[in-house]
Amino acid sequence: MSALPSQGIGVGLIGLGFMGRTHAACFAASGRAHIIAAFERNPDALHAATGANNLDTGSALAAAALAHTRRATSIDELLADARIALVSITTPTDSHVELALRALEAGKHVLVEKPVSLDPAAIRRIGACATAHGLLAMPAHCMRFWPSWVVMREALQSEYYGRPFRARFQRMGQAPSWSKDFYLDDARSGGAAIDLHIHDADYIRDVFGEPTAVHAKGSRRHIQTTYSFASGVHVEAEGAWVDDAAFEFVMAAVIECERGTLDFRLGREPELVLTREGVSTQIAVPTGSGYEGEINALLDAILSGARAAPVSMEDAAKTQELLNRELASLAQ
């Protein structure tokens, strides 16, 4: 295992697209990590402006953090650097498994962007490899760390507002205008039904447990799923890529409980409110994003010597199995 440098955890970045730069900004903001090197196949990516048109996640901070970052000429060179203890992998989905296994074999902890893989068995191979080497392998399931969604989960698990009986999630964004050869190839990305909708499917699993049944309609571009649970709670989720390039990103959740309704809307002020007996009240939440939250949680785990990542590859595999059930329902 690589040593931890005095200035914090040494980080290597594989991939410098939108998510790679997002991770870079979060590592820089953490104050507990130092980006040692980055590898990107696109020769202009390291110093070029990039974005996903949906969210601003610290592009200026990422640019500053990467301005003097060493450019590795190959993945092997990056993995051979003993100063690097953690590797962030934000390349196309179909490259994740190979890269994660190579990094683990080189003695590095790994953070792998979602979806880790479209194949649950392949995801589990990453988890098994990490365990065998005494390392941490974490899927970047950021909604588990999004401040408002953490507050909602805590309220649901404690039944602070009573038991939930109905919930609806919505996530819609512009169809990718970048890396179209990857994103618009369903065999590689899974389409919006996987690449975008995974956020809500994973959160639903985390909060409500494993669904007893799923019914999906629509397409891989625009999916609407109804989930049934042994508890009786009724849950729906919608995920879509919208063709209109001017479409503003939508991320919303409404969860009805016995003693109030939790209502989250990204970009609204306030973003999270509780409606009870006709009165809406703001719920205070910490600042920041789920990207920062997931990276800080992983850094905490590494620095404390934890034997398990905050989110496991088994979690990722089970979420992918749920998504595969939804795709099977679509095909019926």
If you average pLDDT over residues 205-215, what whole number do you get? 99
Reply yes or no on whether the pLDDT at 276 is more than 70: yes
Range name among 8-12, 66-70, 283-287 with the lowest pLDDT average: 66-70
Query: What is the structure's pLDDT at 50?
Result: 46
- Structural domains of the chain, with CATH: 9-140+292-310 (3.40.50.720), 147-287 (3.30.360.10)
| pLDDT averaged over every residue in the chain | 94
Three-class secondary structure assignment of the chain: CCCCCCCCEEEEEECCCHHHHHHHHHHHHHCCEEEEEEECCCCCHHHCCCCCCCCCCCHHHHHHHHCCCEECCCHHHHHHCCCCCEEEECCCHHHHHHHHHHHHHCCCEEEEECCCCCCHHHHHHHHHHHHHHCCCEEEECHHHHCHHHHHHHHHHHHCECECEEEEEEEEEEECCCCCHHHHCCHHHHCCHHHHCCHHHHHHHHHHHCCCCEEEEEECCCEEEEEEECCCCCEEEEEEEEECCCCCCCEEEEEEEECCEEEEEECCCCCCEEEEECCEEEECCCCCCCHHHHHHHHHHHHHHHCCCCCCCCHHHHHHHHHHHHHHHHHHCC
**111-163 pLDDT, tens per residue?**
999 999 999 999 999 999 999 999 999 999 999 999 999 999 999 999 999 99
Mean local confidence (pLDDT), 256-285: 97
* pTM attached to this predicted model: 0.94
